[in-house]
Structure 1
Amino acid sequence: MKIISLWSGPRNVSTALMYSFAQRSDTYVVDEPLYGHYLTKTDADHPGKQEVINNMETDGLKVIHQLNKQAKTTPILFLKNMAHHWIGLSDELLLDYDNVFLIRDPREMLPSLVNQIPNPIMRDTGLKMQVDLLKKLQSQGRTPAVIDSRQLLLNPENTLKKLCTILKIKFEADMLEWEAKPRKEDGVWAKHWYQNVHKSTGFEPYTKKKAEVPSHVQPLLEECIPYYDYLYENAIKLN
């Protein structure tokens, strides 16, 4: 039994990475299991908030117990988590997972995020919580994999091969492509966030984002950069 927990921020290509793992012959994926928990614990105003709450278990500890039971039914359970959803839960629980961090340069992430959350704050990016979680795991002697989304898109195969080596699982070529359609595992929020990935058949080639960070989000960008830089220093680098 292996539980891989991805800790991402929004607009980081995390859904594509979940779809990638869903192609594996030995893996079952779960989409943002702690989203309902997060929305009930904070004042976050997200698209479809009430629908999410109505359709999910909102007690985070119950969610963790349910996932641990589910993990016994499949060789690998892959959890696509947003880092900021980890709120009010014991960090000791993280030690049961093979933790992976997925990051994206905020200069490219924020112009996309404002389409769903027009006035984002640091919490909405997940970056600070990613750093906090990474440091906590490092203090426990763990060295979680950190993947930069730009590198993943530039070289999906080699990045995934290196990730699989770190996770001590076999790379499967099927991880590189999937059918262009929604998946049954998609959360009810997919209609608000997943329009592009539903059209994809694999990792889209990297293109530098043309949109600029809006002026009202510039202060947040400046706040984000040191967190991103720390994470990037710890990211997987290809030779």
Structure 2
Amino acid sequence: MWSGPRNLSTAMMYSFAGRGDCAVWDEPFYAAYLKATGIAHPMADQVISAGIADPARVANACLGAIPDGKPLFYQKHMTLHMIAGFDRSFMAGLTNVFLIRHPARVIASYSKKREAPTLADIGFVQQAELFDQVADRLGAAPLVVDSADIRATPRETLGRLCAALGIPFAEGMLRWPAGPKPYDGPWAPHWYNAVHASTGFDEPEGPLPTLPDAYRALSDRALSYYERLAALRL
């Protein structure tokens, strides 16, 4: 599952973990991304020391044996982590789905956790690039699911996604226990406060947030990338 940050991505990871037949991996390339770029992120040192900083090793693990002998493996990938120089050929061995969210909502949420985000930080350009690469290889558009649809009709939207993936829908996808999870990344204390308080998908979102001028300009720059994928959503 390829998304940018603040995209319902952690809730979706919890949802798939709740199936019982699915192992999950929280942001496999985060440590490699931070090590390679030196970007100052909250808890960067802890992320690097706890993760796998060699992108080739991460890619091999993505294609390797599924943990705990599960039949399914949900990998929560951030599009911004796939920087130039990271070999993307491993993606051909995966089923790639793209999770999208309106940029105004992403920016409003992200800026509460890390100030002054850039276009590169929120992952829309990288998401479109990865989408195009997968589409070129498949000869057809890969699956796209919008977080707004999941929140509005979680059972129906997840049911469509499961059907498109060729797996059964499971009731356990709709609820999870509150609090931290053993499969959370080490960055969870900074980023996951809201999802740790949840026990399922939130209610549908209201009107788009009002952004300051600088953030509104950033949202406008990201909007076309979102809209192109949104036109293809389930």
TM-score, normalised relative to structure 2: 0.94
Residue in 2 aligned with 1:97?
94
Correspondence 1:221 to 2:207: no
SS at match of 1:146: strand
Amino acid in structure 1 at the alignment position of 2:131: L
Contact 1:108–1:209 (CA under 8 A) maintained in structure 2: no
- Give the CA deviation at 1:8: 0.8
Contact 1:7–1:102 (CA under 8 A) maintained in structure 2: yes
The one of 157, 178, 181 equivalent to 2:179 is 181
- Give the CA deviation at 1:65: 1.4
Residue in 2 aligned with 1:3?
none
Residue in 2 aligned with 1:27?
22
RMSD: 1.4
Amino acid in structure 1 at the alignment position of 2:142: P
The one of 85, 108, 118 equivalent to 2:81 is 85
- Give the CA deviation at 1:50: 1.1
Task: Report % sequence identity.
Answer: 37
Residue in 1 aligned with 2:129?
132
Structure 1, unaligned runs of 5 or more: 1-5
Deviations for 1:39-74, whole angstroms, at most 9, x for unmatched residues? Answer: 112242211111111111100110121232232732
Correspondence 1:54 to 2:49: yes
Contact 1:29–1:80 (CA under 8 A) maintained in structure 2: yes
Partners in 2 of 1:39 and 1:209 — Cα distance?
A: 34
Deviations for 1:1-21, whole angstroms, at most 9, x for unmatched residues? Answer: xxxxx1011111110000000
Structure 2, unaligned runs of 5 or more: none
Contact 1:34–1:81 (CA under 8 A) maintained in structure 2: yes
Contact 2:134–2:142 (CA under 8 A) maintained in structure 1: yes
Mapping of residues 1-239 of structure 1, within 5 Å: 6-71=1-66, 73-87=69-83, 88-140=85-137, 141-208=139-206, 211-236=209-234
**More deviation, 42-51/20-29:** 42-51
Amino acid in structure 2 at the alignment position of 1:45: A
Partners in 1 of 2:182 and 2:207 — Cα distance?
A: 30
Amino acid in structure 2 at the alignment position of 1:231: L
Paired residue total: 231
Partners in 2 of 1:30 and 1:209 — Cα distance?
A: 32
